[in-house]
Amino acid sequence: MSDKLVFRVHPSINFARFGTSDEYILSPETSAGLPQANDNVTGGLPIKKDTESDPVTSNDLRDEEGFLRKQAARFRIYAYENGKSEYPSGEGTEVTIGTVLPDGRKVKTMLWSCHLANKKSAAYNVVNDKGIKAYDDGVPQRRNPEVHGDINDPNRLNQLMIDPGPRVINGRRQSSVGFNASTPAEFVNNKGEVTELPDYPIRFPQDTNEKLFEPSGPLNTLGEMRTDGMGRLLLLASSGNAVGQYDEYDQVIQMNGDLNNAGWFDSAADGPVDVTLVFEDDSIEQVHGAWVVCCDPAYAPQIRNVVSVWDNLYDMFVRKLSLQPDLYDQASDKYNCEYTPSFTQDIKPIFIACNLQRWTANLPPFALNAHTAVDAIDAKDDPNKTIMSGLNFIRNPNKDESNIGAPLMPLSLGEAGTSFLTVTKTQYFNLEQWSKNSFSQDEGSKLGKGELLDIASLSNCLGGRYVPGIEVSYSIMDKEIYIQDWRKSGAGPFRIKHKRMDYQGLNKADPYLNIGWIPRHGMTDGLEPGDLSKFMAIPWQTDYNSCSIHATAINTDGVNMSNGAESTLYWSWPSQRPDAVYVAEEVINNVLPQQKWSVRGPGTYAINPASAATFQNPVQSVTDWDKIGFIIQGTNIDDKYKQYDANLYLEVEGQLTAPGDASDPVAHWPFNANPKKKL
């Protein structure tokens, strides 16, 4: 390592989104819903291919044949002056091919490597009402228990784990290096040499299944790598497809639930991203690597989650890994009451998120007016004169208020074991400071460019309610998975610790990976590929589909613990999994039409409102997820005949219904499930 510089990949955790097209756009690099300098387009939109930051318009979301474009996760390298290990550092200079460092060395190339895997079918069940607590006294039941062996038995791993092995790419504008069976596995050794791994035990479902049900084609890749014109890594997810096994009667194994379907595989994945800088003088520098997660398409990219993965991760780093001692003192376990949060960075995003929920949830008009008032609060307002005075309507995470519904906010469903969502303790502390008029009106960001990329990436993902989640699950909040000595190591915060893998002693018959890290078992040696996505539902589509609206008892073992009616319905993941939307083509003269369910049309008609907005047959969720529309800002909707206001966020590019088709009606909240049948 240079004496003067440390190098880090940003975003430290990035998300590649599924798409059925071979073409791609780029994952967003701005934070959902937040205002952008000199532009009325808010953050969160994906980026046009081959551009630095041009947000997509609606026509970019699908290719000419109507297939959904993938969203490639773009990774960059930033150089930091040694010793600047405080957060935020406020610095960081991007390094690309051709960059000359202060010591005169010129970057010849960047050797990117990544290893994706999918361990879902081999892993443990998701227990929706226990969450991470399911690991407190052992482990949950294994998925696919009919496959013989303990959790790390090679027999199970060979049959149930998808592992294409590692791949390497370098140079400018390099085309696809696939995570498939036909592309050789390679890795970069610690001398910066690319080494082929001909004996790597590549595993795909077809290796051990003579026949598979493949409604959206074969599952033969977990994604691919490319580079852009600057040598940055572009990591593309797979098509997001899922395949099922046949039973002994030659029938497709039916999906019997949302989370842990036996006999099914999907092509979600995750894994470490590493890079070695190679200079013209053939010297090398190791870079603190990153992590990529390949996951759902993010149908409402600008609709900000009130609690995002960023909020959870920031909260954990603040309280458990001494991120900002001026904010929170870990020794005394207390926030600093002298700390002044930034209105722009710490307060306003919560208010904006509140107001954006209207575009994906069926809120009643009086709530919309209240949300408008929340969003209208600016830094100059006296908090005591606002609707947020005394934080009267915010559920306090320091008290046991998670079973109290309206008017406490957020009103969506909470984490496992609780009825309703709460903001994080750090979010709440910052709000408390604001409500006491103890905040900064400073508009300037103290964050470096790489640090902003970390925030953007993570704040565009679902937080709070990891049951099990959309992109990642509760494990993302566990400090065990991170580089905990982030200051001393120079890695910086929010960086997942990679389990050391030297790829020695490979044997095609034996699986290389095992089941890997699990929470609450003192495992701190880092994550293997597949160790984040294995906590998600299998296949991903059934959970996405079902997590529309529920009564609170879904979280609390079937018993209504809330203070309201047991049949009252709430939204599961309203920002990240749109429920009720306004269809752009039905908007005339910027007058909003009636809302429609995001998932609608043939196959979605529900007798019980609790099942509305979902494909009634889970197989349809596997085949038709890519037909769901996207919710984007009016400014970026391509329409020859109409212009849309910038304050509208509307559904575009949906393929589930045509104008005029019948669909289940959308009632304003509060609305109810059908009563339980009396025995």
Partner 1 sequence: MKLDKEGFGLLELHAHLQYAVDLELWTIPFYMSAMYSIKDKNTQAYQLIRSIVNQEMLHLQCAANIANAFGLSPKINVPVYEGTKVPHLDFSLDPQELVKQYEPYTAEIGPLDEEHINAMCLIELPEYDTQLKSHAQNAMVFCDTPTEYGTIGAFYQALLHGVALHKDQIRGGLKQVDFFAPFYRNMPNLTVTGSKDIGLSQVQLLINLITDQGEGFSAKEECVPKVFQNTADDPQPAQDHFAKFNEIKTCKDDRPETFQGGGADDSGLQGILIEQFAELTQVFQAMFNGENPKQFFPIMASVGASIRNCWQNGVTPSFSESTTQEEK
Q: Which long-range contacts (CB under 8 A, 24 or more apart) does 558-567 make?
A: 561/403, 561/418, 561/419, 562/403, 562/404, 562/405, 562/419, 562/420, 563/403, 563/404, 563/405, 564/405, 564/406, 564/670, 565/672, 567/672, 567/673, 567/674, 567/675, 567/676
Of 298 and 363, nearer to partner 1 (C-beta) is 363
Q: CA 192, CA 275: separation in Å to the nearest integer?
A: 9
Of 93 and 568, nearer to partner 1 (C-beta) is 568
Minimum Å gap between C-beta 345 and partner 1 is 24
Of 449 and 668, nearer to partner 1 (C-beta) is 668
Q: CA 213, CA 436: separation in Å to the nearest integer?
A: 59
Minimum Å gap between C-beta 100 and partner 1 is 56
Of 213 and 671, nearer to partner 1 (C-beta) is 671
Identify the CA nearest to 309 among candidates 468, 447, 420: 468
Identify the CA nearest to 235 among candidates 271, 262, 260: 271
What would the two tokens of residue 63 be? 């290719």
- Is residue 621 classed exposed, middle or buried when 0-12, 13-18 and 19+ CB atoms within 10 A define those classes? buried
What would the two tokens of residue 89 be? 């550092």
Minimum Å gap between C-beta 436 and partner 1 is 10
Minimum Å gap between C-beta 415 and partner 1 is 18
Minimum Å gap between C-beta 209 and partner 1 is 48
Angle between helices 425-435 and 309-320 (to 10 degrees): 90
Minimum Å gap between C-beta 349 and partner 1 is 20
Q: Are strands 186-188 and 194-196 parallel, antiparallel or unpaired?
A: antiparallel
Cβ atoms of residues 240 and 20 within 8 Å? yes
Minimum Å gap between C-beta 662 and partner 1 is 23
Q: How many CB atoms lie within 10 A of CB 443?
A: 10
Q: CA 551, CA 534: separation in Å to the nearest integer?
A: 27
Q: CA 136, CA 176: separation in Å to the nearest integer?
A: 42
Minimum Å gap between C-beta 305 and partner 1 is 23
Identify the CA nearest to 131 among candidates 570, 562, 577, 555: 555
SS3 for 275-308 is: EEEEECCCCEEECECEEEEEECCCCCCCCCCCCE
Of 53 and 590, nearer to partner 1 (C-beta) is 590
Cβ atoms of residues 223 and 294 within 8 Å? yes
Of 151 and 404, nearer to partner 1 (C-beta) is 404
Of 393 and 503, nearer to partner 1 (C-beta) is 393
Of 213 and 393, nearer to partner 1 (C-beta) is 393
Compute CA 541 distance to the chain's CA centroid, rounded to the nearest angstrom.
Answer: 14
Of 507 and 674, nearer to partner 1 (C-beta) is 674
Minimum Å gap between C-beta 665 and partner 1 is 13
Minimum Å gap between C-beta 597 and partner 1 is 17
Identify the CA nearest to 134 among candidates 535, 533, 541, 499: 535
End-to-end CA distance of the chain: 70
From residue 473, alpha-carbon distances to 424, 425, 454, 461 in Å are 16, 19, 18, 11
Of 194 and 373, nearer to partner 1 (C-beta) is 373
Minimum Å gap between C-beta 419 and partner 1 is 12
Q: How many CB atoms lie within 10 A of CB 627?
A: 17
Minimum Å gap between C-beta 420 and partner 1 is 12
Of 434 and 474, nearer to partner 1 (C-beta) is 434
Of 160 and 367, nearer to partner 1 (C-beta) is 367
Identify the CA nearest to 143 among candidates 535, 478, 519: 535
Cβ atoms of residues 311 and 459 within 8 Å? yes
Of 365 and 522, nearer to partner 1 (C-beta) is 365
Q: CA 592, CA 651: separation in Å to the nearest integer?
A: 12
Q: Which residues bind partner 1 (CB under 8 A)?
A: 364, 366-367, 369-370, 372-373, 384-390, 392-393, 399-401, 403-408, 563-565, 567-568, 667-672
Minimum Å gap between C-beta 564 and partner 1 is 4
